[in-house]
Amino acid sequence: MKKYWLIGLYALALTSCDSFLNCEPENSFSSEGFLESESDLRLYTNGFLQSFLPSEETIAWGGDQYADYCATRSSTTFLIGDTWDDTQQGGWGTDDWGELRQINYFLDHLPNAKGKVTDAIYLHNEGVGRFWRAYFYYGMVRTFGDVPWYETTLDVDNRDELYKPRDKREVVMDKILEDLDFACTNCSTDKTLTESSTLITKWVALALKSRICLFEGTYRKYHTELGLQNSADKFLRASVAASEELMTKGPYKLVSTGDVETQYRSLFTSEDLNTTEVIWGISFKKDLRMHSITWKLFSASFGANWSLVRPFVNMYLMRDGSRFTDRADYTTMQYMDEFQSRDCRLMQTVISPSYQRKISGTVKPDAPNFSMTSTGYQLVKWAIDDDVHVGKATANNSIPIFRYAEILLNYAEAKAELGECDEAVWNTTIKPLRERAGVDGKIPAAYDPYVAAYFKNQTTDKWILEVRRERGAELAFEGVRYDDIMRWKLGDLIDKVWQGIYIPQKGEAYDLNGDGVKDVAVVDKEPPAGDKIKGVQYVVIGKTNRLSGGDHGYIEFGFNQGRKWEDKKYLHPIPLTATQINPALLPQNPGW
């Protein structure tokens, strides 16, 4: 039976085909004898999950490692200087469009099952196929903008379709919305599908629609160069509708254990997906399916030193709901003090002074390690607190893809962008999220100048700014931040120098977690072995590190990487390999 899924892959390798878009599967099974039973349909759609699911690392840092709030040891070539061009660009090859071909082949041959399965099963499977087509095209539009739309596998003689020009963004996005609407209407909510939060259901389709439509609505609003502002509200309202349906009819709610210092992070470190809040995720099990995320987060060589940056950390509120940046001493507050009475998501996202983990079998305090962090704000959200997983791909914590928390945030942001956010919206979205993190959920009286300045004074609408603050705190390193920055048209936030913890005096050693042991010193030159303080990590000022004030200030990193933002980078170029085969794909994206 597994051959049903593999036959499409075999076809992609056939050299006799003019294009992988028209290769017909060749196998001992004819199309007339296949996809005729519920088990056939289930096997084929399970193949979609095996092939198209994002990886655990794509969710945990993926594109977000290149977003505004993350310092990383090495950036992507795409963001460095102005050296990227269409010869280096991928994403348009056999493997990429082959995914679409698998989906369309399934949908084309789904009628084989008519009359042999119930109408509900038939419509659910069509919804699953159309879910994956929307998912595929969403990725293509985010990357390339205009792309050719195909909703069927093509005949070898249909050269007009095989070599047609790109369809306009608005055409493709309308088609995506049609597919999403079908999936949201027809995908099942049967408990056998929903109970694991790993399969495609009506609720998963609504979550994808909520995310995609928010992306497209705000992209059109802020990217005025597209001339699509007048249609932005259509997508914002579609996001609102999808979110509302999930909020009022779905079975999900925020996880609440009563412990504000642990309940948030438990969503990301537990073996079982918490199906109270997780709508869709990737399941891992000890000794059966495991990953290396903990290893990479606690490795000086295997990982990339993913770390938050100080300007972003400053946006986490105080627990009484007041702004950290309203404190007179916030600019010079040291690491030991800045976590005190703060939003509890901060201490559950990065190592805090109270952080402990099991080291060699014993639970001990553990301070940021500057061989694993560049700023001092070392990512720990996805890590299991046991060094037994370091050096081994044995982490078994499952990975949420869609959470109910994101749906609340999508709803609040879409309403804010429509000018319709009010106390009622706030009380059902932002307030419960803040209260789960131990923060007073009161509505601020006015907009926050710090947050407005962080976002380049693009808006002074307090509702929009507070939702953006909340998205950052709640969804950090969950695979959405880079896309947020792209849709808000704030790409130039990405090439800033990364700033970390505050160091009062160069050459002095500091205890970061209050255990009586000095942890770090910023120096011009590492001292001789005999002069070193036991346990101290020496951060040497030079090509990669410096202090913002010369002999004091924020640790700064990344100033030598050559990251350079240009607005053409909101889209990638169409690869040269594609335009050589099909010149109708030209003209190239703007600036490339």
Cα dihedral value 395, 396, 400, 404, nearest 10:
-120
Taking each helix axis from N to C end, the angle separating 38-52 and 3-12, rounded to the nearest 10 degrees, works out to 50
Write down the pLDDT at residue 157.
82
Which amino acid is residue 234, in one-letter code?
A: K
Distance CA 530, CA 509 (A): 16
pLDDT, average across residues 99-119: 97
- The pLDDT value given to residue 255: 98
User: 381 to each of 12, 345, 377, how far by Cα in Å?
Assistant: 40, 9, 11
Residue keyed to tokens 């705000």: 218
Region 207-226: mean pLDDT is 98
SS3 510: strand
pLDDT digit string, tens, across residues 403-455: 999 999 999 999 999 999 999 999 999 999 999 999 999 999 999 999 999 99
Confidence category of residue 21, pLDDT binned at 50, 70, 90: low
Q: How far apart are CA 504 and CA 502, in angstroms?
A: 6
User: What is the C-alpha separation between 60 and 247, in angstroms, rounded?
Assistant: 25
Identify the band that residue 13 occupies on the pLDDT scale cut at 50, 70 and 90. Answer: very low
Rounded to 5°, the CA angle 436-441-446 comes to 145
pLDDT over threshold 80, residue 1 = no
For position 5, what pLDDT does the model report?
A: 34
Both structure tokens of 306: 């993913």
Q: What is the pLDDT of residues 458-480, one digit of tens each?
A: 999 999 999 999 999 999 999 99
Question: Nearest to residue 498, comparing CAs of 74, 177, 195?
Answer: 74
Residue with tokens 């596998």, as numbered in its chain: 153
Q: Which tokens hold the place of 115?
A: 């009359």
Question: 202 near 184, Cβ under 8 Å?
Answer: yes
Dihedral-angle region of residue 555 (phi above 0 means left; psi in -120 to 50 means alpha; beta otherwise): beta
> If pLDDT is split at 50, 70 and 90, which confidence band does 154 have?
confident
pLDDT digits (tens, 9 = 90+) for 520-551: 999 999 999 999 999 999 999 999 999 999 99
Q: Where are the domains of the chain?
A: 188-283+399-493
Residue 34: predicted pLDDT: 80
| Whether residue 25 has a cis bond before it, omega within 30° of 0 | no
* pLDDT per position as a tens digit, 168-208: 999 999 999 999 999 999 999 999 999 999 999 999 999 99
Interatomic CA distance for residues 314 and 448, integer angstroms? 12
What is the average pLDDT value for the chain, to the nearest integer? 94
Closest CA to 379 of 462, 487, 283, 500: 500
SS3 285: strand
> What is the pLDDT at residue 60?
97
- Residue 19, pLDDT > 60, answer no
pLDDT for the residue 17? 41
Q: Within 13 Å of residue 247, how many CA atoms lie on the same side as its CB?
A: 18
Check: CB of residue 445 under 8 Å from CB of residue 432: no
What is the percentage of the chain residues whose pLDDT exceeds 90? 92
- For residue 156, the model assigns a pLDDT of 78
Task: Report how far residue 63's alpha carbon sits from residue 482's, in angstroms, rounded to the nearest whole number.
Answer: 6
CA angle, residues 277, 320, 470, in degrees to nearest 5 = 40
**Residue 4 above 90 pLDDT?**
no
The 10s digit of each residue's pLDDT in 34-63 is: 899 999 999 999 999 999 999 999 999 999
pLDDT tens for 548-586 read 999 999 999 999 999 999 999 999 999 999 999 999 999
For 9-13, 102-106, 378-382, which range has the lowest pLDDT when averaged over its residues?
9-13
Please give the Cα distance from 10 to 105 (Å, whole number): 13
Specify whether the CB–CB gap between 371 and 537 falls below 8 A: yes
Going by pLDDT thresholds of 50, 70 and 90, the confidence category of residue 360 is very high
pLDDT at position 6 over 80: no
The label of the residue with tokens 């942001």 reads 413
At the second CATH level, the architecture of 188-283+399-493 is Alpha Horseshoe (1.25)
* Per-residue model confidence (pLDDT) at position 16: 32
The stretches of 354-393 forming alpha helices (DSSP H) are none
The SS3 assignment for 7 reads helix
Helices within 187-305 (DSSP H only): 191-194, 202-222, 232-249, 266-269, 293-297
